[in-house]
């Protein structure tokens, strides 16, 4: 059976011990993916973490209104910089 408490603790420890965090959504993200990414970004930034966001491809127009969506880096627009960013995190 899935032990939510165990995985929550492990994830919390990973976030706590990390200096640079990169949050990556899935290809062709929907509102749930982007909303979750933005919320986690805000939470981690509030905790003082250096956080970046990335999406493999362009966001759909109807998702760009969300506060912070303009800070999501798009992998296919700049592959070299994206790969460097991945390496830092």
Tens-place pLDDT, residues 44-63: 999 999 999 999 999 988 88
pLDDT at 73: 96
Q: What are the CA-CA distances from residue 53 to residues 5, 17, 23, 39 (Å)?
A: 26, 18, 5, 11
pLDDT 10s digit of each residue in the chain, 89 long? 678 899 999 989 999 999 899 999 999 999 999 999 999 999 999 999 999 999 999 998 888 898 899 999 999 999 999 999 999 88
Q: Taking a C-beta distance cutoff of 8 angstroms, is the pair 59, 69 a contact?
A: yes
pLDDT at 63: 85
The pTM of the full predicted model, rounded to 2 decimals, is: 0.87
């Amino acid at each position: 059976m899935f032990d939510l408490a165990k995985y929550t603790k492990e994830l919390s420890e990973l976030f706590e011990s990390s200096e640079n965090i990169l949050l990556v959504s899935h290809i062709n993200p929907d509102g749930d993916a982007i909303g979750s990414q933005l919320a986690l970004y805000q939470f981690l930034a509030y905790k003082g973490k250096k956080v970046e966001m990335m999406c493999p491809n362009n966001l759909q127009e109807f998702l760009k209104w969300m506060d912070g969506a303009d800070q999501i880096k798009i992998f296919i627009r700049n592959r070299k910089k994206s790969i460097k960013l991945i390496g830092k995190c």
